[in-house]
Amino acid sequence: MSLKVLLPQLWIAGMVLQALLAIVLLAKKTWKNFPVFTIYSIFGLMMGLSLYSLRFSKLAYNQVYWFTEVLGLLLGFGIFYEIFRTLLNSYPALRTLARSIFQWSALGLMLLGCIVFYSQSSGDHNPLMSTMLVVEEATRTIEVGLLVFLFLFASAFGLHWRQYLFGVALGFGIFISVELVAVSMRLHFGHTAEVAVNFARIIAFNLSLLTWLGYLLIPESTARNTDLPKLAQLEQWNHALTELIHQ
């Protein structure tokens, strides 16, 4: 079976998974803690249905597609904020420290994104397509960098990930990492790589959907006894930072 034949089937499977994810998010009231992620999921489903219905109309499809991509990129940064806020919700002093480091890291990554944007050449002959792909590559570079920072910060301080929170971060990490590679390939190889790139992107997104569904549906595990010393140490660090900040 060729990739072109397989793509529509994977697309439909992805929309089914998106519908299930939206139902789970609403049924479990996860939207209260992750409103942006919920909007991202429902928006993705609606846009997926719209794009599928417009797949034979190239002009309308392209217009809706790029609108979806731009809004999806913006919502992605909102998801990062939600993960960051939820992860450090119980530790205000650590949150202040992390916010400062996060802002400087984001600034550095934005500069890197600008370098990627201005230094990148495209194998696509369509100027608009080339520009959008370069913008997406630069944005995905920033997102991957921010996610790496988040995992490193959490690991350095031994932060306890809630199960569903880790699932959201992991699923999003899978998607944006493959997206970055796929967009880079599309820029380098041009239109000839379009089918393979689309296949990789759909597979990655479907894997992300399965990851999100899995972590949301599996019952939340309670903290183990071995985690208690780490939590106590976190409280001490948070208290020490609070005193330092208010000196």
Cβ-proximal residues to 66 (8 Å cutoff; 6+ apart), any chain: 132
**Distance from C-alpha of 18 to C-alpha of 6, rounded to nearest angstrom:** 18
Q: Rounded to whole angstroms, how far apart are CA atoms 148 and 14? A: 26
pLDDT digits (tens, 9 = 90+) for 12-70: 999 999 999 999 999 988 888 889 999 999 999 999 999 999 988 888 888 888 888 88
Is residue 148 predicted with pLDDT exceeding 70?
Answer: yes
Contact 220, 164 (CB under 8 A): yes
User: Residue 101: its pLDDT value, please?
Assistant: 66
Position 227 scores a pLDDT of: 47
Residue 94's pLDDT is 65
Domain 3-245 in CATH 1.10.890? The answer is no
Q: Are 25 and 44 in contact (CB under 8 A)?
A: no
Q: In angstroms, what CA-CA distances link 7 with 12, 61, 207?
A: 9, 16, 15
Residue 228 — very low, low, confident or very high, per pLDDT cuts 50/70/90? very low
Look at residue 209 and give its three-state secondary structure. helix
Report the pLDDT value the prediction gives residue 132, as an integer from 0 to 100.
76
The percentage of the chain sitting over the pLDDT mark of 70, rounded to a whole number, equals 71
- Judge whether residue 180 has pLDDT over 60: yes
**pLDDT tens readout for residues 103-116:** 776 677 677 667 76
| Mean pLDDT score across all residues of the chain | 78
Whether the model pTM is above 0.85: no
Contact 183, 137 (CB under 8 A): yes
What number is the average pLDDT over the span 138-146?
A: 83
Q: Which is more confident, 42 or 195?
A: 42
100-113: string of b/e by CB count within 10 Å (b at 16+)? eebeebbeebeeeb
3-state SS assignment for residue 81: helix
* Contact call for residues 163 and 218 (beta carbons, < 8 A): yes
- Domains of the chain, by residue range, sit at 3-245
Which has more pLDDT, 198 or 2? 198
Which residues 6+ apart lie within 8 Å of 2 measured at CB?
Answer: none
What is the structure's pLDDT at 119? Answer: 63
Candidates 117, 149, 145, 119; CA nearest to 133 is 117
Taking residues 173-185, report their average pLDDT: 91
* Total count of residues recorded for the chain: 247
Contacts of residue 209, Cβ cutoff 8 Å, sequence gap at least 6: 14, 17, 18, 21, 171
What's the average model confidence in pLDDT over 219-223?
Answer: 62
